[in-house]
Amino acid sequence: MANKIRMGMVGGGSGAFIGAVHRTAAEMTGDIELAAGAFSSDAVASRAFGVELGLQASRSYGTFAEMFAKEANLPQDERIQCVSIVTPNDSHADISCAALAAGFHVICDKPLAGHLEDAIRIEDAVTDSGLLFGLTHTYTGYPLVIEARERIAAGEIGDVRRVAVSYLQDWLSRDEDTKANKQAIWRSDPARTGESGAFADIGTHAFNLVEFTTGLRITEVAAELRTVIPGRAIDDDGAAMFHLSNGASGLLSASQVCSGAVNALRIEIYGDSGSICWAQEEPNTMTIRHRGQPDQVFRPGANVGYLSDAAIAVCRTPAGHPEGYIEAFANLYAGFARAVRDYPAQNGTGCASVADGIATMRFIRAALTSSRNQSAWTKLASG
């Protein structure tokens, strides 16, 4: 463990899907080792699960507060160096702020928080601590998403005119789905998920993908968020027209009630000389189109000669082998591990930043405000 970044985890206990994903991705980097954890709100279950994962009993904690206090008292070369937070949205702020105050870098599952005000608390804690903070917007770890960003920045499709992005799912499309599993229960509860449902859960991914690939900021929205399933207390479907900082426009759709849509995240970016298209369910294909010319289809691969250096750097397999969801997550963790190892050099974390997370929360707040005002254009707040 002396040569690896020592990570603690909060959340991700027995039956938690995303916790296992984060642990697998961190392990895949070869540069991170899980050294401690507080995995459940049930202290007994938390300690037992840590031992089940192979942790020392003394470092399988009942609460995150206990973990932070006891780890901070260990010798510098033994204590955890960073904390992975994989809990429901309502707890992100308290855990992040406590971890930073205890001296630990933080990598957190999206969205940044349940409410904008809590997100701002995290931002203040990051500034005050001077420590690293990364947010895991998974899809920015795919090689072809990085390639799209590089080609747009290089002028491959000219000036961006329009963006169409949609993230559609069906796993909450029936009334009985609301209480079907642990993930559905908390995502349908405003007390846990925060001020938004589907827009916070997957709309934030779509928002982040637009800003990441185009290099532009969404400045204002005209949105309609609604609840389709009777009795559900939070939005499960919505759409927003938006304007970008260069004057371009776009449409973002996010829904978890679209029957037959499994995990249909798709983005199309249209410039004045061409367009780029990428879809998460076919992540190893990116298409570039120019008027009057044949489509160009790009594939990832560590040994292909036509991708940018930035994309090649995150390809984990030879051409023809899939680069998937776990690999994308691992790319984020690998970047974060490098940043922890290089700290205090500030060269980015390889993840979305706390500023990116604040931007997504301002987007959610603006979309909610617009929807309540019957789709009036609403500017995203700044500062």
Q: What value does the mean pLDDT take over residues 254-259?
A: 98
pLDDT at position 374 is 87
CB 133 within 8 A of CB 99: no
The tens digit of pLDDT for each residue in 294-311 reads 999 999 998 888 999 999
Q: Is pLDDT of 207 > 90? A: yes
Q: What value does the mean pLDDT take over residues 272-278?
A: 98
Name the segment(s) of the chain with CATH classification 3.40.50.720: 5-139+335-352
Q: pLDDT band at residue 182, thresholds of 50, 70 and 90?
A: confident
Measured distance CA(251)–CA(249) in Å, rounded: 7
The tens digit of pLDDT for each residue in 72-92 reads 999 999 999 999 999 999 999
pLDDT at position 2 is 56
pLDDT at position 104 is 98
Q: pLDDT band at residue 376, thresholds of 50, 70 and 90?
A: confident
Q: Is pLDDT of 34 > 70? A: yes
Name the segment(s) of the chain with CATH classification 3.30.360.10: 142-318+360-372
Query: Angle between the 354-372 and 204-214 helix axes, to the nearest 10 degrees?
Result: 120
> Which of 1-10, 80-89, 273-282, 294-303 bottoms out in mean pLDDT, i.e. has the lowest?
1-10
Instruction: Kindly report the average pLDDT of the chain as a whole number.
Output: 96
Measured distance CA(279)–CA(269) in Å, rounded: 12
Q: Quick count: other Cβ atoms within 10 Å of Cβ 75?
A: 6
Q: pLDDT band at residue 25, thresholds of 50, 70 and 90?
A: very high
Count Cβ neighbours within 10 Å for each residue of 193-225 and write b for 16 or more, e otherwise.
bbbbbbbbbbbbbbbbbbbbbbebebebbbbeb
The tens digit of pLDDT for each residue in 95-118 reads 999 999 999 999 999 999 999 999
What percent of the chain has a predicted confidence (pLDDT) above 70?
A: 99
Q: Cα–Cα distances in Å, from 6 out to 72, 294, 331? A: 13, 49, 17
> At 242, which amino acid appears?
F
Measured distance CA(166)–CA(153) in Å, rounded: 22
Q: pLDDT band at residue 15, thresholds of 50, 70 and 90?
A: confident
The tens digit of pLDDT for each residue in 213-253 reads 999 999 999 999 999 999 999 999 999 999 999 999 999 99
CB 101 within 8 A of CB 124: no
Query: What are the helix (H) ranges across the chain?
Result: 17-28, 43-52, 64-72, 92-101, 116-129, 143-153, 182-187, 190-193, 198, 204-214, 309-312, 325-342, 354-372
Q: Residues with Cβ < 8 Å from 29, sequence gap 6 or more?
A: 330, 333, 334, 337
Q: Is pLDDT of 36 > 70? A: yes
Half-sphere exposure of 77 (CA within 13 A, CB side): 3
> At 26, which amino acid appears?
A
pLDDT at position 383 is 65
Quick one: CATH architecture of 142-318+360-372? 2-Layer Sandwich (3.30)
Q: Is pLDDT of 351 > 90? A: yes
**Shortest CA distance to 110 belongs to which of 22, 177, 28, 205?**
205
DSSP-derived 3-state class of residue 34:
strand
pLDDT at position 305 is 87
Topology of domain 5-139+335-352, CATH: Rossmann fold (3.40.50)
